[in-house]
Amino acid sequence: MEDIKTRLINKKKSQEEWKREAIDIAIDAINGCTHREKEHYIKHLMMHLKNMPLINDSDLGEPEDLPF
Query: 1, 3, 4, 2: which is closest to 55 by C-alpha?
Result: 4
All residues at 6 or more sequence positions from 54 whose CB lies less than 8 Å from its CB, including other chains = none
pTM of whole model > 0.95?
Answer: no
How do residues 6-57 score in pLDDT, each as one tens digit?
A: 888 888 899 999 999 999 999 999 999 999 999 999 999 999 999 888 766 6
Q: What is the pLDDT of residue 11?
A: 86
Q: What is the pLDDT of residue 59?
A: 62
All residues at 6 or more sequence positions from 53 whose CB lies less than 8 Å from its CB, including other chains = 11, 14, 15, 18
Res 5 pLDDT > 60: yes
CB 58 within 8 A of CB 64: yes
Res 68 pLDDT > 60: no
Give the helix/strand (H/E) hosting 18: helix 2-31
